[in-house]
Amino acid sequence: MGKMPKILIVDDVEDKVEILSRQLKQEGYEILKAYNGEDAIEIVRKQKLDLILMDISMPQMDGFKVTMIIKEENKTIFLPIIIVTASKDDTESIVMGLESGADDYISLPCKREEILARVKAMLRTKQLHDELSQKNIELKKTHDSLKLAEENLNKKVKELGKEKAKLEKMNNFMIGRELKMVELKQEINSLLEKSGKPKKYEGLGKTGK
């Protein structure tokens, strides 16, 4: 990714935001914070993010709804979202989060090492996805360039075909003209022989005495 990844933490509980923020900042990540769903959506619209940690239990707009909106508005890019649940046993919330479009989940409380491992794994997935997308863009540019070159080549071939047809037409005209000159020469020699002048006619520029 070049520069350090930018991570958005979304949670209405400030203490949880600060704990996660402190842990991730120690790894050098750039951290943005949102304390409700509306602010999170606005930040995503304005910032180029690499990962979102999304709490699911928020007032007004819960994490499921926020996740769905963010995923809907970012269909052309891969913006990973890790939902944060309050318990490993909250299977229903985990399933709902994944069905809403989340890419992974973290259940609190959990060890710092687990949080960092899941964050790094998702960032690695994001990096690979972005690299693949860039390769696809470059491949499309190459394909478009080759297509344009092929069109130009076909145009040149068509033009050469027209020139060849013109040359063949001119060549046929010259051959026909030579044949007529030979026939005319033969006719003139025949007339000279009949008139008692046996000297052969060699061309329009030569005359016999």
Query: pTM for the full model?
Result: 0.68
Confidence at 12, pLDDT banded by 50, 70, 90:
very high
What share of residues in the chain are helix, strand, coil (percent, to 5)?
60, 10, 30
Across 172-199, b (16+ Cβ under 10 Å) vs e yields: eeeeeeeeeeeeeeeeebeeeeeeeeee
Percent of the chain at pLDDT exceeding 90: 50
pLDDT of 207 above 50:
no
What would the pLDDT profile of 123-153 be if each residue is shown by its tens digit?
999 999 999 988 988 888 888 888 888 888 8
pLDDT of 112 above 70:
yes
Residues 56-76, mean pLDDT to the nearest whole number:
92
Q: What's the chain's average pLDDT?
A: 87
Residues 85-105, mean pLDDT to the nearest whole number:
87
User: What span, in angstroms and rounded, lies between the C-alpha atoms of 49 and 80?
Assistant: 9
Can you spell out the DSSP letters for 52-90?
A: EEEES--SSS-HHHHHHHHHHHTTTS---EEEEES-TT-
User: What span, in angstroms and rounded, lies between the C-alpha atoms of 163 and 198?
Assistant: 46
Residues 163-173, mean pLDDT to the nearest whole number:
87
Structural tokens at position 160: 């050469």
The order of strands in the sheet holding 104-107 is 30-34, 6-10, 51-55, 81-85, 104-107
- Residue 209 has a pLDDT of 42
Residues 73-99, mean pLDDT to the nearest whole number:
88
pLDDT of 22 above 90:
yes
Least confident of 43-47, 127-131, 202-206: 202-206
- Residue 133 has a pLDDT of 85
User: What span, in angstroms and rounded, lies between the C-alpha atoms of 179 and 95?
Assistant: 92
